[in-house]
Amino acid sequence: MKRRDFFKKAATVAGSAALGGSTLLANETGHPVDNRKVSDIALPQKRPLITYSDRPPLLETPREVFANAITPNDLFFVRWHMPMIPTYINPHYFSISIDGEVKKPMKVSLKSLKTEFEAVEITSVLQCGGNSRSAFRPTPSGIQWGPGAMGCAKWKGARLKDVLAKVGLKPNAAWIKFNGLEKPVYSKTDRFVRALELSKMHDDIIIAYEMNGEELPYLNGFPVRLILPGFYSDSWIKMLSDITVTDTKPPLHFMDHAYRIPDNNCECETPDHLAKKTKPIEEMNVNSLIGYPVNGTKVRKDAELIVRGVAFDGGHGIARVEISTDGGTGWQAASLDDGKQGKYAYRTFTYRLTPDRTGSLSIMARATNTKGETQPFAHEVKWNRGGYKYNGIDEVAVEVLS
Amino acid sequence: MKRRDFFKKAATVAGSAALGGSTLLANETGHPVDNRKVSDIALPQKRPLITYSDRPPLLETPREVFANAITPNDLFFVRWHMPMIPTYINPHYFSISIDGEVKKPMKVSLKSLKTEFEAVEITSVLQCGGNSRSAFRPTPSGIQWGPGAMGCAKWKGARLKDVLAKVGLKPNAAWIKFNGLEKPVYSKTDRFVRALELSKMHDDIIIAYEMNGEELPYLNGFPVRLILPGFYSDSWIKMLSDITVTDTKPPLHFMDHAYRIPDNNCECETPDHLAKKTKPIEEMNVNSLIGYPVNGTKVRKDAELIVRGVAFDGGHGIARVEISTDGGTGWQAASLDDGKQGKYAYRTFTYRLTPDRTGSLSIMARATNTKGETQPFAHEVKWNRGGYKYNGIDEVAVEVLS
C-alpha cells in the first residue's frame, strides 16, 4: 500500500464525523470481517455461535458450517430486532389472529394449522439483508455481520394461500401485513411488521411450524414463522401472531425506512449523494460462500485439497460456480450437487485442486445464476447506506506447507 | 478418591512390565480420552482432524460432528494398517481381479462395475473395532482412539452377490478373500486381507465406488471399497483389488490373530487369564454418542439445552435412546429421528433439558436395540486384550452458568 493510500484508508475508517463527508472515498467495499471467535457460551437450543448480542439475540454461523447443504438448527444464525421476546409460549394455546379485509376474521390455532391444511415442505435459504455488512466502508449502521448471517433449512408448514382461502379475502384486499411477538421496550417504538403485496403471493410461501424435521428453535421463531423463499429474512416474520389484510399498503417503519436500497439500476449511492428514491430489498441476489477451507487452513503441497461451499440466489437457480486460484484472472468450473434440494436452496459445490508450491494460496468462488447474473469482485460491490445485499466474490487464503 | 484407590490406579496406569501382571486390577474401563486437539494441518481431501499418524494415515473425527445423521467425506475418520499406500491410481485402468474357485476368473474394471451391475445405495455406519480403545486399562496395544473412529455415509456400488454371479462360483466355493492395495514395507509381513464365509453373504454387501454422492476419498479407499453393513470396519477392505474364492478358510494374520475377542459369553478376559479361544469381532454391538454438547460446553441456567447425538448397532435397529442427568439413576426417553436412513445407519436423537442449577452437569446417553441389548456403564465394560467393541454409556459434562 502506498503511503498516500494508507492515509486515505485511515481517514475512511475514522469516519465522516471528524473529517467531513466530502473527504471520504465515495464508496468502498472489501471482504466482510471473517475472523470473529465463536462465543464461549451457548444460547438456548443453540451451539455456541458468533455472538453480537444476547438482547436482542444476534448470532452468526461460523464459515465452516457452509460446506454442507443443510444448516443444522442448533448452528442456524439468529437475528431479532426488539429486546422483548416472550420467554414462554404455550403451543397448545397459540394461535394466529387473521383480520382486516377478510370475510371471516378468525384465530387459527397451531393445531388447526397442522391438521386442517395440507402440509408442505420446502428447502430454502434464509439470509439477512445485512449479511456481510462489515465489508462496506464507510460503515453503515447495523450489525457488522461477517458472511454467516444465513442458513438453509427444510421448512414445513401450511401454505399462506390455503390459510387465506379459509378466511376468505374481500375483493378489495391488496396487502397482507404480518406481525410477530417481539416487542419494543418503549410502547411508541414501531413494531417489526412487514407487508406483502397480494399480487406477489405464490404457492411456496408458507407458515412453517417445522424446521429440519423438528419444531422451530425458539430463537428462529417458535412456534410458527413466515417463510418467503427467495426473499431476504427481514420479510420472514418470526413468532407470527397477527395477519391483517388491507386494501392499501400500510405505513410501516421497517418497510418504509429500513431494509431499503436505492431504487436505481446499480442499487447504489454514495455518502455524499444519497439516493432520494429507495425500494425494499426483497429478492436475494446471487451469492456463494466457501465453507472449507477457511482462512489460515494449513494444507500440504502436492496433496489434493477439496474446496467445498454453497451457492444460491433468489430462486432462478444456480447455473455454475467457478473457482479462481490466481486472484480472479482465470476461472475453472466447480462441480455442483444434483440440485434436488430445489431452486430456493443451497446448491453445494466442490472443487479439487493440488497446490504445487508452498506459501499463501488464495481461493475465490463466484456463482452465476440461470439469468446470467454473477457476483462482482468484493471491491466492485456498490455501496448503500444500509449495507444491504452484499454479494462480493468470496475469497479465502490457505497456507501451503512443504 | 481414597488414598489407597489412588495408588491402585497409579499402579494400573504404570503398566504390567514393572509391577508384574498379578498386581494389576483384573480389568478396568473408564471413558475414552476425549480432549485431543484437532491437527493444525489438513491431510489430502480432508479437513483437519485428530491426527495420530500420517504414515499410515490415522485420523479421528471430533465429537461435535456426531450431532448429524451423515458424516461428511472430509470429516470422516481414516484408518490404514500398512505404511505403503499407492499415491496414484488411474481409475480408467483400475480393475478388481477375481479368481480361485470360480468358473470364469476375470478382471472387473471400475467402468464395468459402474455400468454392468445394478447400482444400489445403502446408508451404513463404518466403525473401527478399536473405537474408544483408550477407555481400557491396562492399555491394550493399538491406536488409542477416542470415540470418533466412526462415521455414517451413503455408499453406492454394485452388490458383491451380483459380481460373484457374473464370474460363477464353483460348487466347492465356501470363503471369499478380499485384498486391497495397501502393502507392508517388508515383503514377508502379512498383508491386510480379510475373508468372508460365503454363507454370510447377503444383498446389502456391496463394492462401493461412491460415498455421499462423490467418488470415495483416497484415504477412505478410492476407487472401490468393500461395504459390509453391520460389521466393524476391519472387514471393509479399502482399495479393493483382489477377490479370491476358496473352498476352506484361508490362514490370515488379520483374522487369525488380530481383531479377535474372547469366544465366551461375556467376550471378556483378564490380563492374568487370557481367553484361550477367540473369535473375529464382526458384528457391531449397540452404541451411541452425544455429538452436542461436548465436555466443557458452557450453557445458561434456565435456558433450554438440546442434546444431540447418534445411536446404532449391527443392523437390528435402535429401539430407544435414553438420557440421564443424575449419574445414571433415572433415565428419560430421547426423541429419535424417523429411521428412514435404514437399519445400518445412525439414528439421530435429541433430548431437551433446562438446567435448573449452576455448576457442572453430567449428561449420559444409553441406546437399546430391538433385541433388547443395551449399553453398559463405562466402568462395567469388560476388558479384552485388543480393546475391541467398547460401547460404554456415553457421558459429557457441561458447565451451567447463572
Is residue B304 within 8 angstroms of chain A, CB to CB? yes
Is residue A72 within 8 angstroms of chain B, CB to CB? yes
Position B8 pLDDT exceeds 90: no
Candidate from A24-38, A52-66, A209-223 with smallest mean pLDDT: A24-38
Candidate from A115-129, A345-359, B18-32, B212-226 with smallest mean pLDDT: B18-32
Q: What is the DSSP letter of A102?
A: B
C-alpha A109/C-alpha B377 separation (Å) is 45
Is residue B297 within 8 angstroms of chain A, CB to CB? yes
Mean pLDDT value across chain A: 91
- Band of pLDDT at residue B54, cut at 50, 70 and 90: confident
CA angle B168, B170, B174 (to 5 degrees): 110
Chain A: nearest CA to B207, how far in angstroms? 23
* Cβ-Cβ contacts under 8 Å for B268 (sequence gap 6 or more): B27, B262, B275, B382, B383, B384
Report pLDDT for B26.
53
C-alpha B199/C-alpha A283 separation (Å) is 59
Position B55 pLDDT exceeds 60: yes
B/e letters for A176-191, b = 16+ CB within 10 Å, e = fewer, are bbbbbbbeeeeeeeeb
The backbone region for B371, taken as left when phi is positive above 0, alpha when psi lies in -120 to 50, beta otherwise, is alpha
B298-300 vs B394-401, strand pairing mode: parallel
B190 or B86: whose pLDDT is higher?
B86
C-alpha B33/C-alpha B38 separation (Å) is 13
- Band of pLDDT at residue B217, cut at 50, 70 and 90: very high
CB A372 within 8 A of CB A320: no
Residue of A40, A304, A350 lying closest to B44 (CB–CB): A304
C-alpha B341/C-alpha B156 separation (Å) is 14
Contacts of A295 in chain B (CB under 8 A): none
C-alpha A332/C-alpha A12 separation (Å) is 35
- Closest of B101, B97, B99, B95 to residue B113, by C-alpha: B95
Contacts of A297 in chain B (CB under 8 A): 42, 47-48
Residue of A42, A337, A352 lying closest to B297 (CB–CB): A42
Q: How many CB atoms lie within 10 A of CB B127?
A: 23
Contacts of B64 in chain A (CB under 8 A): 47
Position B10 pLDDT exceeds 50: no
Position A57 pLDDT exceeds 50: yes
Report pLDDT for B16.
35
C-alpha A296/C-alpha A34 separation (Å) is 11
- Please name the amino acid found at residue A290: I
Is residue A301 within 8 angstroms of chain B, CB to CB? no
Mean pLDDT of B326-344: 97
Q: What are the start-end ranges of the H helices in A118-232?
A: 160-167
Question: CB B41 to CB A298 under 8 A?
Answer: yes
Note the pLDDT tens digit of each residue in A101-154: 999 999 999 999 999 999 999 999 999 999 999 999 999 989 999 999 999 999
Question: CB A67 to CB B72 under 8 A?
Answer: yes
C-alpha A45/C-alpha A124 separation (Å) is 21
C-alpha B61/C-alpha B395 separation (Å) is 17
Position A41 pLDDT exceeds 70: yes
Residue of B44, B64, B303 lying closest to A303 (CB–CB): B44
In SS3 terms, B283-326 reads as ECCCEEEEEECCCCCEEECCCCEEEEEEEECCCCCEEEEEEECC
Mean pLDDT of B41-55: 94
**Residue of A40, A43, A66, A74 to mutate, interface with B, max B Cβ within 10 Å:** A74
Chain B: nearest CA to A325, how far in angstroms? 17
- Band of pLDDT at residue A82, cut at 50, 70 and 90: confident
Contacts of B61 in chain A (CB under 8 A): none
Position B17 pLDDT exceeds 70: no
Chain A: nearest CA to B87, how far in angstroms? 10
Contacts of B308 in chain A (CB under 8 A): 74
Position B369 pLDDT exceeds 80: yes
Q: What is the DSSP letter of A11?
A: H
* Element housing A207 (H / E): strand A206-211
CA distance readout (Å), A228 to A125, A201, B245: 10, 9, 59
Q: What are the start-end ranges of the H helices in B321-364?
A: none
**Which runs of E-coded beta strand occur in B114-168?**
119-127, 136-137, 150-159
Mean pLDDT of A166-170: 97
C-alpha B140/C-alpha B257 separation (Å) is 14
Position B255 pLDDT exceeds 90: no
* Cβ-Cβ contacts under 8 Å for B44 (sequence gap 6 or more): A300, A303, A304, A305, B218, B219
- Band of pLDDT at residue B201, cut at 50, 70 and 90: very high
Report pLDDT for B6.
35
Look up residue B172 and give its three cell numbers. 466347492
The backbone region for B68, taken as left when phi is positive above 0, alpha when psi lies in -120 to 50, beta otherwise, is beta
Mean pLDDT of A176-191: 85
C-alpha A27/C-alpha A381 separation (Å) is 9
Note the pLDDT tens digit of each residue in A251-281: 888 778 889 999 999 999 999 999 999 999 9
Position A331 pLDDT exceeds 60: yes
- Please name the amino acid found at residue A49: L
- Band of pLDDT at residue B25, cut at 50, 70 and 90: low
Contacts of B305 in chain A (CB under 8 A): 42, 44-45
Question: CB A305 to CB B67 under 8 A?
Answer: no
Whole-model pTM: value is 0.90
Note the pLDDT tens digit of each residue in B384-396: 999 999 999 999 9
* Cβ-Cβ contacts under 8 Å for A300 (sequence gap 6 or more): A355, A400, A401, A402, B41, B42, B43, B44
Dihedral (CA of B379, B380, B381, B382) sign? positive
C-alpha B134/C-alpha B78 separation (Å) is 17
Look up residue A389 and give its three cell numbers. 445485499
Contacts of B402 in chain A (CB under 8 A): none
- Band of pLDDT at residue B49, cut at 50, 70 and 90: very high
Look up residue A78 and give its three cell numbers. 439468529
A329 or A4: whose pLDDT is higher?
A329
Note the pLDDT tens digit of each residue in A198-219: 999 999 999 999 999 999 999 9
CB B196 within 8 A of CB B232: no
B191 or A30: whose pLDDT is higher?
A30
Q: Which residue of B has its CA nearest to A72?
A: B68
C-alpha A280/C-alpha A292 separation (Å) is 33
Is residue A55 within 8 angstroms of chain B, CB to CB? no
Mean pLDDT of B149-165: 98
Report pLDDT for A25.
52
Q: What are phi and psi of A297, to 5 degrees?
A: -60, 135
Is residue A308 within 8 angstroms of chain B, CB to CB? yes
Classify residue A55 by burial, with Cβ atoms within 10 Å: 0-12, 13-18, 19+: exposed
**Residue of A37, A39, A41 to mutate, interface with B, max B Cβ within 10 Å:** A41
Q: How many CB atoms lie within 10 A of CB A332?
A: 10
A371 or B5: whose pLDDT is higher?
A371
**Which runs of E-coded beta strand occur in A68-149?**
78-79, 95-100, 106-109, 119-127, 136-137
Instruction: Report chain B's C-alpha Rg in angstroms.
Output: 22
Position B200 pLDDT exceeds 60: yes
Domains and CATH numbers, chain A: 78-280 (3.90.420.10), 287-400 (2.60.40.650)
Q: List the 237-276 stretch of B: residues with Cβ below 8 A of A.
A: none
Position B20 pLDDT exceeds 60: no
Question: CB A298 to CB B214 under 8 A?
Answer: no
Helix (H, G, I), strand (E, B) or coil at A168: coil
Q: Which residue of A has its CA nearest to B64?
A: A47
Is residue A121 within 8 angstroms of chain B, CB to CB? no
Contacts of B361 in chain A (CB under 8 A): none
Is residue B86 within 8 angstroms of chain A, CB to CB? no
Is residue A48 within 8 angstroms of chain B, CB to CB? yes
CB B75 within 8 A of CB B212: no
Is residue A64 within 8 angstroms of chain B, CB to CB? yes
Note the pLDDT tens digit of each residue in A366-377: 999 999 999 999
Measured in whole angstroms, the distance separating CA A87 from the mean position of its chain's CA atoms is 25
Look up residue A378 and give its three cell numbers. 468484493
Position B256 pLDDT exceeds 70: yes
Position A98 pLDDT exceeds 90: yes
- Closest of A210, A229, A16 to residue A113, by C-alpha: A210
Q: Which residue of A has its CA nearest to B40?
A: A298
Is residue B300 within 8 angstroms of chain A, CB to CB? yes
Residue of B41, B48, B306 lying closest to A45 (CB–CB): B306
Chain B: nearest CA to A327, how far in angstroms? 22
Contacts of A48 in chain B (CB under 8 A): 297-298
Residue of A42, A213, A293 lying closest to B337 (CB–CB): A213
- Closest of A158, A131, A383, A160 to residue A232, by C-alpha: A131
Measured in whole angstroms, the distance separating CA B153 from the mean position of its chain's CA atoms is 13
Look up residue A303 and give its three cell numbers. 496433496
Mean pLDDT of A383-397: 97
C-alpha A65/C-alpha B307 separation (Å) is 19
Question: CB A297 to CB B338 under 8 A?
Answer: no
Chain B: nearest CA to A41, how far in angstroms? 5
- Band of pLDDT at residue B254, cut at 50, 70 and 90: confident
Q: How many pairs of residues across A and B have Cβ atoms under 8 Å apart?
A: 77
Chain A: nearest CA to B5, how far in angstroms? 35
Question: CB B401 to CB A42 under 8 A?
Answer: no
How many alpha carbons lie under 13 Å from residue B102 in its C-beta half-sphere? Answer: 21
Share of chain B above pLDDT 90, in %: 83
CB A368 within 8 A of CB A260: no
Question: CB B292 to CB A338 under 8 A?
Answer: no
Is residue A162 within 8 angstroms of chain B, CB to CB? no
Note the pLDDT tens digit of each residue in B76-88: 999 998 888 888 9
Is residue B299 within 8 angstroms of chain A, CB to CB? yes
Chain B: nearest CA to A122, how far in angstroms? 18
CB B148 within 8 A of CB B65: yes
Chain A: nearest CA to B40, how far in angstroms? 6
Mean pLDDT of B175-201: 87
Is residue B308 within 8 angstroms of chain A, CB to CB? yes
Report the helix count and the strand count for chain A, using DSSP H and E: 5, 26
- Please name the amino acid found at residue B56: P
